[in-house]
């Protein structure tokens, strides 16, 4: 039984050759100015929390050495701040938690801005206190 909707190939049109799949394009290394830019954004993103640092580190860790080092540093600091927020939330039962959360918020903003200003000039920045969980 044949398909009544099937079209017979036109003898004047050559058959199409299948197109081989193209390899995925890999991103090259970052130029120095972009490496510094993304590294500084990783620190400045700390104002919003740990996600900007995590995303920048995951996307650019293999493309720029400076970004890899600085994004890890920023991420470690933001994880430390997240732990501080959790402690503040737990201690909010005895009313001191609000003060702890406020202090963590201020410290996070101040040190993120200091780190951003230092890193945008191409200098490495190490936070005075941070759990170094990501090596």
Tell me the pTM.
0.75
pLDDT of 30 reads: 77
* Helix (H), strand (E), coil (C) string for the chain: CCCCCCCCCCCCCCCCCCCCCCCCCCCCCCCHHHHHHHHHHHHHHHHCCCHHHHHHHHHHCCCCHHHHHHHHHHHHHHHHHHHHHHHHHHHHHHCCHHHHHHHHHHHHHHHHHHHHHHHCCCCCCCCCCCCCCCC
User: What are the pLDDT digits (tens) for 45-101?
Assistant: 889 988 999 999 998 888 888 889 999 999 999 999 999 999 999 998 888 888 999
């Amino acid at each position: 039984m044949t398909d009544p909707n099937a079209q017979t190939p036109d003898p004047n049109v050559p058959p199409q050759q299948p197109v081989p799949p193209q390899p995925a394009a890999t991103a090259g290394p970052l130029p120095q100015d972009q490496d510094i830019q993304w590294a500084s954004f990783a620190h400045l993103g700390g104002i919003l929390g740990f996600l900007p640092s995590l995303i920048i580190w995951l996307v650019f860790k293999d493309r720029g050495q400076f970004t890899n080092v600085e994004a890890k540093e920023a991420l470690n600091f933001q994880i430390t701040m997240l732990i501080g927020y959790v402690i503040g939330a737990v201690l909010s039962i005895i009313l001191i938690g609000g003060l702890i959360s406020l202090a963590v918020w201020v410290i996070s903003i101040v040190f993120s801005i200091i780190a951003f200003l230092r890193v945008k000039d191409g200098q490495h920045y190490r936070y005075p206190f941070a759990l170094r969980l990501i090596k």
